[in-house]
Chain A
Amino acid sequence: MDDMYREVILDHYKNPRNKGTLDPADFSFEDDNPLCGDRIRIDVRVGEDNKVKEVAFSGQGCAISQASASMLTEHIIGKSLDEVKQLSKDDILELLGIELGPVRLKCALLSLKVLKAGVYGIKDED
């Protein structure tokens, strides 16, 4: 499964886009994958048009979780919140361009889980 570490994934891992935090943000959420200790936080600012204006992610984890977070942030800028709510597992896999087994799938989907919790306004417990 060498292709799991495709050039583009390693590039997003080594040079993450939109890495950091936004303060203040319109919504933020943070969660972890207790299996492997991956942790991701996403902060979002929404424009007048109700579209994602700025987004930042922070956290730590494996190449798959970090690259998928980086790709996801790039992907959602300019999208409406309704569009963000529609995002699915398949969208993430398409961004990554790889197939994943059940264990690594959790890593890949962590950022989407965090983003959706944020969009739906679930309170961050921490």
Chain B
Amino acid sequence: MPKLNVEQIRKDFPILSREVKPNVPLVYLDSTATAQKPLSVIEAMNSYYRLSNANIHRGVHTLAEEATALYENARDRIAKFINAKSSKEIIYTRNATEAINLVAYSWGRANIKQGDVIVLTEMEHHSNLVPWQMLAAEKNAKIEIIPVTDDGELDLTVYESILKLSPKIICVTQMSNVLGTINPIQQMAAKAHAVGAMMMVDGAQSVPHFAVDVQTLGADFLAFSAHKMCGPTGIGILWSRQQVLEAMPPFLGGGDMIKRVYLREFKANDLPHKFEAGTPAIAEAIGFGAAVDYLTAVGMDFIHDYEREIIAYAIERLEEVPGIKIYGPKAERKGGIAAFSFGGVHPHDVAQILDSDGVAVRAGHHCAMPLHDRFKLPATTRASFYLYNTKSEVDKLIEGLYKVKKMFG
């Protein structure tokens, strides 16, 4: 079996050979925020603008045909990437956030009534909290929370008792963008479905890092963003089953989402166009297609195995540094993310000093304020890893942390 060849992979990403300042190469440990892009993605978008740029659908000229084919072919490949039954189940959105908002507006406003229970978790990204809080406030619905244990896992005993309240929807991330926790979606979905609840899964961190198959996942809705999986910003996906999407009212109104418009009413278009109003992000969709091609060619299982190796090494080395406390489950139970505190040193200072050696990490609450409240932290420093990171980059991180220690110790 060919293992992942990281040196070869690094050559595919032009940005990885840049220096942050003279003689200081980039060590990019912030892929959880956004991943770098391989040349094939950049070239696919470039080539669309150089050769095929036209608005899609309805045009009959050559460029419009080409652009439409490129845009729709990308959708087909994304459908295949998550094993959707049909491309009709793949709705292009701006990002994972918009995909979740689409569900909260369209499905939510049609199905949530006063007093209904919406279940969220303490480890959600703000994008899987706020749209539901807005819906709950509007409908006078109740929010129940699955808490996070000290080990950084969902407290499934509390989940069991919440299910007795007959909730309407469970909104949960497949992988935490802070703790790296990979949640047991299949098991949670089976229980949710047994009480008639829908399952909204935030796949922003899972879909980029391991194979996600919607036929076995158990989700009713899955949201993810291209930019976290080697694709461009400005495009994401909402997946749901055709039957569910057909029953949902349209979201944004305008061109492309209609079959027929009269002066006082309209007929909505068929899936997936019903949810895609206006001129979409065409180049970005094409870039997204190239990104899933790239990840498929490398192999999602290889990527996952490789990241497990890197995170195990990173955690082992981080634990050597006195004063570091890593949040979340043990290495073997999580994805390639290490969020940590460092004694009394503020994450901003940690990140700033690391930056002077070219090491890019993130400092802050990572759009998960309630989770930081849970651990009584204003912020953490987060290093995250992807297919192009190496163990020697982990070593650079550790060297930088010793420098921080020296400066602030």
Q: Which residues of A contact B (CB under 8 A)?
A: 1-2, 4-5, 10, 35-39, 60-64, 104, 107
Q: In whole angstroms, how far apart are the Cα atoms of A62 and B353 in the complex? A: 12
Docked-complex contact A62 and B356, CB < 8 angstroms? no
Which of B372, B377, B379 is most buried by chain A, counting CB atoms within 10 A of its CB?
B379
Once the chains are docked, how many angstroms separate the CA of A7 from the CA of B288? 48
**Bound CA span A47–B379, Å:** 38
Q: How far is the CB of B22 from chain A (nearest CB, A)?
A: 14
Q: List 5 A-B contacts (CB under 8 A).
A: A1-B352, A2-B356, A36-B346, A104-B348, A104-B352
On whether the beta carbons of B356 and A1 are closer than 8 Å, the reply is yes
A60 and B348 contact, CB distance less than 8 A: no
User: Is B272 an interface residue, CB under 8 A from the partner?
Assistant: no
Beyond contacts A5-B349, A64-B348: 18 other A-B pairs, Cβ-Cβ < 8 A, are: A1-B356, A2-B356, A4-B352, A10-B407, A10-B408, A36-B347, A36-B364, A36-B365, A36-B379, A37-B365, A37-B377, A37-B379, A38-B346, A60-B378, A62-B346, A63-B346, A63-B349, A107-B348
CB-CB contacts of B339-364 with A at 8 A, as 1s and 0s? Answer: 00000001111001101100000011
List chain A residues, Cβ under 8 A from B372: 37
Chain B interfacial positions (CB closer than 8 Å to A): 346-349, 352-353, 355-356, 363-365, 372, 377-379, 407-408
User: Considering the complex of A and B, which 3 residue pairs feature the smallest CB-CB distances, nearest first?
Assistant: A37-B378, A62-B346, A62-B348
Contacts of A62 in B (CB 8 A): 346-349
Closest Cβ of chain A: how far from B236's Cβ, in Å? 24
The answer to whether A36 and B363 have CB atoms under 8 Å apart is yes
**Separation of A104 and B347 alpha carbons in the complex (Å):** 12
B346 partner, pick from A1, A2, A10, A61, beta carbons under 8 A: A61
Assembly CA distance A5 to B349 (angstroms)? 9
Residues of B near A63 (CB, < 8 A) are: 346, 348-349, 408
Q: Within 8 Å CB of A4, what residues of B? A: 352
Give the chain A neighbours of B408 by CB distance below 8 A: 10, 63
